[in-house]
Amino acid sequence: MSQVTASDVIALLKTSLDDVLSQALPREAYSVEETAQVLGVSRRTIEGLIDSQQLRAVRVGRYLRIDRKEIDRYLGRHK
């Protein structure tokens, strides 16, 4: 039987806290891959929506980011 150390417990608590915080505080911008997962489509579909300007994205360095509000707008959920 292995012994659980204090550092093991701290690591577990930190992981759990990070999970809770990530769910409680959603990010403001998502990658193309994450947006595809949220919408349940392929990465190429998201790239096509961006190319056709149906979905707005901003370039941060060499990466595209899609604002959470833009995803909501696309889905017709904005108020």
| CA 12 – CA 50 distance, rounded (Å) | 39
Task: Give the separation between CA 41 and CA 71, rounded to whole angstroms.
Answer: 13
CA separation, residue 21 to residues 16, 33, 52, 71 (Å):
9, 21, 35, 21
Domains, in order of start, for the chain: 6-74 (1.10.10)
Q: How far apart are CA 29 and CA 36, in angstroms?
A: 13
What pLDDT is attached to residue 15? 65
Model confidence pLDDT, tens digit, residues 32-50:
999 999 889 999 999 999 9
Confidence of residue 58 (pLDDT cuts 50, 70, 90): very high
Local confidence band at 60 (pLDDT 50, 70, 90 cut-offs): very high
Query: Does residue 22 or residue 78 have the better pLDDT?
Result: 22
The pLDDT tens digits for 4-31 are 788 877 776 666 655 655 665 578 899 9
Q: Tell me what percent of the residues of the chain surpass a pLDDT of 90.
A: 47
